[in-house]
């Protein structure tokens, strides 16, 4: 069989390492001194097997090698190993590895007789004859397909095995198959029709230069194959006719596609007919379904323009589907395609880069470059959408893992978890690899080499259709390397995976730090053993230790994944101890096993170590103690060191917990009557050598008379966090040094070197003797009973530790003050609601929180002859977060004089200890006539008795301090006038009526009441130079040209002398000045609650000089705005005055 013809057309799967022939032998063999008896265990279930497993069925004679590769009803392929001579041609095969399986497992694997030698493309069929066999070369792919063979059934043998057999007659297209085919489908009906999606008529392309390629995989027609409902139908032969003005030579290949999957290549093309044949089935149509098959062709290089090609299925006889009857409206013809010639069709050239020759590689490599190949684009930009790579070496399906195709740092397609069948498809259709014309892309196939010792890999692109690339300009697929007959592109030689290696390293979980003095089962070191390339057997190891004083280790043991291997032995003070394992220490290929070294924390002579001694375990370099289980290569293990450990005792220590500060009068422990108060805290620390188990804790009274716990406390409790230790002791002694014992319900474990916090709690007596008297240490640590978890040695400590100082306060405190955001004195308009009237700050002391139940607020009124009791209503108190305290007080009640009060009763206001809480007083301003115009309201907390408060812990009455606390006057008018500047600073010039100021006067009135402005005093800055002429200041409303409100000359008109340009407090008109205008009152309505008037200040600036600044002010100093709210007249009160205007610069 020609190498090129078979491999270029095949879809050969990744081929396994050995073929099988018949082998007969007895069930008991003697090999290397070991008697091996093969046991048969009957089971109905098919056994799970791995690639390369040796198996034997119930007959007790035939031995097979298997390849799990599901196909049809079978789990994989099997071949006989046909005599001991063949078996012994492979050093990695072992008689002891043969597995006995049931008949169901034997039957689940399809028998194969095909093989080829590693590195040789010729495929042979094996014909057995007694104790010998004959090999028959399969002539070409057509013969292979005609024989009904499957590429996955080919086994790989070494050259010794291939040359062992005599060669028989060649297998041709007419030779009957030697391998039983897969059971045929059983359907009886198949209907063929032209699919609706068959391509429309168009063009197919060839380059006008013959050697520059032509279109590949041009879709020509699509046919539907519909199976009847009685069974699946397998199509084994299909003839497609070429029609049109063209020749067979215009097509170099044809394909059948099921969607994006290529299911067949043509067997031949002759006399206008393209034939597709596969005795095992080109494709199977599931019963009751329709399968659409797309027929694609490669156009021959040099095909001239103007030819026409159409493909058809002409008759039912052109479709062979077993016993099924084929029906259809024949002939079924696709649309005509016309050939076109272009001079710049894109090109894609594929070539192998590395390796350039046979090479070797060590197993255990990760992300290793398995093959590098190049893609070169020419004439056009080319987009590559998929690449299929096939391994023709002998590695197993799981020897190579995590396989990726890389363009530099960019991954192309998905990661292949394992090599699998050896055919790797990298689909880039979602994001094609773009190669511009003239660009070279070097692509790397990378993977992890986890097994495969003595086996090979060699990657290749087997056929033209395995590389799908499209001309970006013409939108057609291209033939790789521009050839009609594709030559396999493969690595320059096979790469052989070297014998396996063993990597020994200290495990990341190997112990560090301290070990317990005298512990008898201490883990001293942990090592990782990793087998690369093949399973590795370790027959022995040497170990020793370096210790303070060279004392060695008593009773050392080795554990492999939790099971002891080798015998228990001491690690000597000098030299090495040897541990032997026989066959118990085998590491599977690619696996990592953990070896743990344990021993007693005692010297080799069983004497004790001393605290602070150090121990370090190490493995020595082996001598011919490591053997690969496939290559049988014997090597030495490498040395490795564990971590340094320090021997420590496990005795506890107790110390005061610095996290609890000593109490003072300003930061007391609590108040009389307080419950669950922390009065002490201690830290219990386990020794660094081992964990300890605590069974009892003891605390005691002060040694000072009068300071024993019973004088001030009851209900003594120990806690760790929120967990109680033992039970509380209710009644406490008043005798000095009295002890209190706490026994936990179960022992408390404290890990080596770790801390355990013990907090001491108690209730303070309401009649505590030492309240507000002195600070003192109330409780002392007396004793703790404990034993070492590992050694069971006593680990307690009885040293006294004095607790923290406590201070018992008689009660809490409350100070009231004005808050920083107390409202300023301001005007209020009748009808406004929810107005902030005052803010008060309540500050508590450190001893305890304070509960407030009553607050009385006084309104001291002024500005009116009669009481304005009903002016402010619906008063409420609110916290800073907006939450109301208590309920609203609808109206205030009369008190002394013109004072009225609002009493907030039944409050549940809790003020946390040592904090400041601000309460805001809000209320509504009554509308007219219930509100009194001109009335001023100042809100106060007058007396200590105006606040009722008690301690939240002790419950005692607390008298507030800091009163009286008064806010600022809030004056009520029917309407409120506000004034704001409405002009920006600017530059001015000479003019008769130049704008030097603009103000907006706004009436805010919830009741829509009118304001009447009766006079405006105008503040003016700067002077004007002397002038004999009359110059005027004018007030206008609404606009610069609006209604004149007032007008006045700079100087008196009678004397003719120049006057100063100053404040205008009167707009009275001189008798001699007919141009002056007296101030004219104007009103501001509040329709909808708000209304305004814009006031413009104009000046004659003809005498202004450079660098002169002119400015105006309303409401400043003695300059007032006078207005009436319809009830009160002559109102001059204005919020936020003075209101400066703009500055005009000349």
pLDDT recorded at residue 12: 32
If you write DSSP's letter for every residue of 35-67 in order, what string do you get? EEE------SSPPP--TT-EEE-TTSS-EEEEE
Whole-angstrom distance, CA of residue 1048 vs CA of residue 1000: 21
By the 8 A CB rule, do 371 and 237 touch? no
Whole-angstrom distance, CA of residue 703 vs CA of residue 705: 7
If you write DSSP's letter for every residue of 597-664 in order, what string do you get? EEEESB-TTSPBP-TT-EEEEEEPPPSS-EEETTT--EE-PPPEE---EEEE----EEEE-TTSPPP-
pLDDT recorded at residue 222: 96
Whole-angstrom distance, CA of residue 329 vs CA of residue 576: 89
By the 8 A CB rule, do 37 and 28 touch? yes
pLDDT recorded at residue 37: 31
- Taking only Cα atoms into account, the Rg of the chain, rounded to an integer number of angstroms, comes to 52
Backbone dihedral angles phi then psi of residue 283, each to the nearest 5 degrees: -160, 160
Whether omega for the bond prior to residue 155 falls within 30 degrees of 0, making it cis, is no
**Cβ atoms within 10 Å, residue 432:** 17
Tokens of 882: 């907006």
Whole-angstrom distance, CA of residue 634 vs CA of residue 626: 6
Tokens of 123: 């495929």
Whole-angstrom distance, CA of residue 719 vs CA of residue 701: 18
By the 8 A CB rule, do 245 and 308 touch? yes
By the 8 A CB rule, do 535 and 629 touch? yes
By the 8 A CB rule, do 1010 and 1018 touch? no
Ordered mean pLDDT values, 10 residues apiece, the chain (1146 residues): 32 31 27 30 66 84 86 82 80 82 87 84 80 80 76 85 83 60 68 94 92 93 94 94 94 93 91 92 93 96 94 96 92 95 94 94 91 96 95 87 96 93 92 96 95 88 93 95 92 90 93 86 94 90 90 94 93 90 89 94 91 92 90 90 90 91 90 93 90 95 92 96 95 95 96 93 93 89 92 88 93 93 93 95 93 95 77 95 95 84 95 95 93 92 91 90 90 92 86 89 88 90 60 90 89 49 78 84 87 92 70 75 91 87 83
Whole-angstrom distance, CA of residue 481 vs CA of residue 464: 9
Tokens of 1074: 């007919």
């Amino acid at each position: 069989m020609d190498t090129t013809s078979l491999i270029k057309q095949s879809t050969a799967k990744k081929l396994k390492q050995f073929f099988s022939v018949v082998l007969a032998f007895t069930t008991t063999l003697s090999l290397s001194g070991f008697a091996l008896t093969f046991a048969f265990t009957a089971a109905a279930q098919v056994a799970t097997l791995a690639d390369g497993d040796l198996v034997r069925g119930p007959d007790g004679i035939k031995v097979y090698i298997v390849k799990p590769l599901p196909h049809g009803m079978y789990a994989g392929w099997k071949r006989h190993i046909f005599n001991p001579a063949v078996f012994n041609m492979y050093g990695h095969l072992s008689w002891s590895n043969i597995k006995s399986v049931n008949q169901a497992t034997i039957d689940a694997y399809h028998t194969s007789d095909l093989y080829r030698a590693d590195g040789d493309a010729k495929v042979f069929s094996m014909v057995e004859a007694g104790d010998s066999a004959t090999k028959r070369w399969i002539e070409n792919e057509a013969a292979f397909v005609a024989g009904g063979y499957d590429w996955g059934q080919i086994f790989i043998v070494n050259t010794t095995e291939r040359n062992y057999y005599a060669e028989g007659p060649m297998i041709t297209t007419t030779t009957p198959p030697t391998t039983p085919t897969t059971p045929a489908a059983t359907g009886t009906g198949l209907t063929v029709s032209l699919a609706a999606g068959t391509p429309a008529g168009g063009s197919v392309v060839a380059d006008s230069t013959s050697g520059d390629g032509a279109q590949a995989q041009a879709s020509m027609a699509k046919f539907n194959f519909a199976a009847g409902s009685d069974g699946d139908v397998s199509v084994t032969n299909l003839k497609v006719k070429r029609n049109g003005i063209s020749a067979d030579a215009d097509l170099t290949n044809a394909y059948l596609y099921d969607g994006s999957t290529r299911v067949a290549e043509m067997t031949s093309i002759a006399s206008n007919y393209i034939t597709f044949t596969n005795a095992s089935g080109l494709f199977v149509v599931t019963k009751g379904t329709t399968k659409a098959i797309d027929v694609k062709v490669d156009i021959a290089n040099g095909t001239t323009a103007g030819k026409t090609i159409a493909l058809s299925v002409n008759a039912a006889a052109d479709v062979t589907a077993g016993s099924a009857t084929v029906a259809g409206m024949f002939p079924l013809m696709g649309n005509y395609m016309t050939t076109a010639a272009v001079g710049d069709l894109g090109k894609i050239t594929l070539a192998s880069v590395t390796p350039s020759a046979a090479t070797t590689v060590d197993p255990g490599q990760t992300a290793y470059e398995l093959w590098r190949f190049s893609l070169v684009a020419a004439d056009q930009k080319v987009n590559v959408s998929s690449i299929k790579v096939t391994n023709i070496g002998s590695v197993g399906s799981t020897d190579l893992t995590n396989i990726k195709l890389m363009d530099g740092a960019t991954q192309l397609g998905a990661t292949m978890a394992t090599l699998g069948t050896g055919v790797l498809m990298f689909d880039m259709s979602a994001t094609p690899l773009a190669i511009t014309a003239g660009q070279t892309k070097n692509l790397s196939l990378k993977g992890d080499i986890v097994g495969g010792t003595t086996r090979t890999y060699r990657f290749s692109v087997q056929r033209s259709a395995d590389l799908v690339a499209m001309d970006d300009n013409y939108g057609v697929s291209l033939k790789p390397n521009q050839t009609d007959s594709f030559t396999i592109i493969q690595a320059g030689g096979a790469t052989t995976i070297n014998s396996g290696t063993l990597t020994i390293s200290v495990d990341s979980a190997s112990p560090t730090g301290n070990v317990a003095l005298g512990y008898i089962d201490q883990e001293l070191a942990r090592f990782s053993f990793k087998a690369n390339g093949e399973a590795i057997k370790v027959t022995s190891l040497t170990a020793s230790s370096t210790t303070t004083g060279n004392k060695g280790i008593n009773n050392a043991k080795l554990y492999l994944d939790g099971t002891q291997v080798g015998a228990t032995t001491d690690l000597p003070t000098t030299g090495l101890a040897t541990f032997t394992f026989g066959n118990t220490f085998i590491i599977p290929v690619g696996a990592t096993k953990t070896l743990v070294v344990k021993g007693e924390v005692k010297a080799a002579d069983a004497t004790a170590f001393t605290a602070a001694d150090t121990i370090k375990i190490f493995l020595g370099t082996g001598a011919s103690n490591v053997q690969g289980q496939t290559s049988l290569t014997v090597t030495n293990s490498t040395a490795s060191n564990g971590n340094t450990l320090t021997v420590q005792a496990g005795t506890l220590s107790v110390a005061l917990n610095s996290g609890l500060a000593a109490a003072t009068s300003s930061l007391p422990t609590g108040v009389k009557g307080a419950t669950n108060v922390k009065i002490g805290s201690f830290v219990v620390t386990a020794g660094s050598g081992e964990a300890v188990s605590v069974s009892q804790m003891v605390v005691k009274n002060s040694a000072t008379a009068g300071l024993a716990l019973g004088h001030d406390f009851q209900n003594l409790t120990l806690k760790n966090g929120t967990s109680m230790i033992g039970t509380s002791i209710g009644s406490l002694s008043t005798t000095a040094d009295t002890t209190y014992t706490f026994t936990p319900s179960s022992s408390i474990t404290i890990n080596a070197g770790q801390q355990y916090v013990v907090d001491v709690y108690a209730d303070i007596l309401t009649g505590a003797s030492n309240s507000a008297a002195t600070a003192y240490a109330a409780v002392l640590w007396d004793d703790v009973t404990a034993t070492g978890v590992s050694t069971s040695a006593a680990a307690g400590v009885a040293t006294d530790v004095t607790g923290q100082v406590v201070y018992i306060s008689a009660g809490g405190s409350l100070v009231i003050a004005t808050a920083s955001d107390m409202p300023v004195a301001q005007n209020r308009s009748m009808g406004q609601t929810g107005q902030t009237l005052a803010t008060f700050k309540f500050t508590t002391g450190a001893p305890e929180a304070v509960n407030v139940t009553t607050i009385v607020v006084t309104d001291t009124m002024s500005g009116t002859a009669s009481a304005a009791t009903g002016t402010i209503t619906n008063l409420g108190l609110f916290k800073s977060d907006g939450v109301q305290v208590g309920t609203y007080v609808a109206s205030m009640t009369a008190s002394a004089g013109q004072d009225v009060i609002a009493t907030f009763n039944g409050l549940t206001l809790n003020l946390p200890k040592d904090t400041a809480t601000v309460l805001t007083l809000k209320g509504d301003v009554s509308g007219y006539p219930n509100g009194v115009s001109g009335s001023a309201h100042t809100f106060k907390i007058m007396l200590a008795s105006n606040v009722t408060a008690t301690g939240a812990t002790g419950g005692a009455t607390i008298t507030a301090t800091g009163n009286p606390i008064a806010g600022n006057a809030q004056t009520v008018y029917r309407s409120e006038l506000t004034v704001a500047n409405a002009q920006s600073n600017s530059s001015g010039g000479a003019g008769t009526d130049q704008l030097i100021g603009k103000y907006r006067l706004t009436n805010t009135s919830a009741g829509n009441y009118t304001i009447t402005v009766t006079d405006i005093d105008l503040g003016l800055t700067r002077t004007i130079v002397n002038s004999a002429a009359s110059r005027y200041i004018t007030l206008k409303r609404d606009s610069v040209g609006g209604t004149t409100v007032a007008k006045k000359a700079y100087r008196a008109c009678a004397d003719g002398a120049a006057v100063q340009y100053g404040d205008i407090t009167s707009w009275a008109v001189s008798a001699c000045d007919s141009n002056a205008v007296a101030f004219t009152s104007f009103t501001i309505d509040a329709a909808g609650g708000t209304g305004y008037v814009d006031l413009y200040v104009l000046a004659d600036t003809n005498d202004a000089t450079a660098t002169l600044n002119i400015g105006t002010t309303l409401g400043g100093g003695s300059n007032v705005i006078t207005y009436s709210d319809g009830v009160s007249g002559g109102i001059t009160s204005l919020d936020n005055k003075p209101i400066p205007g703009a500055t005009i610069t000349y």
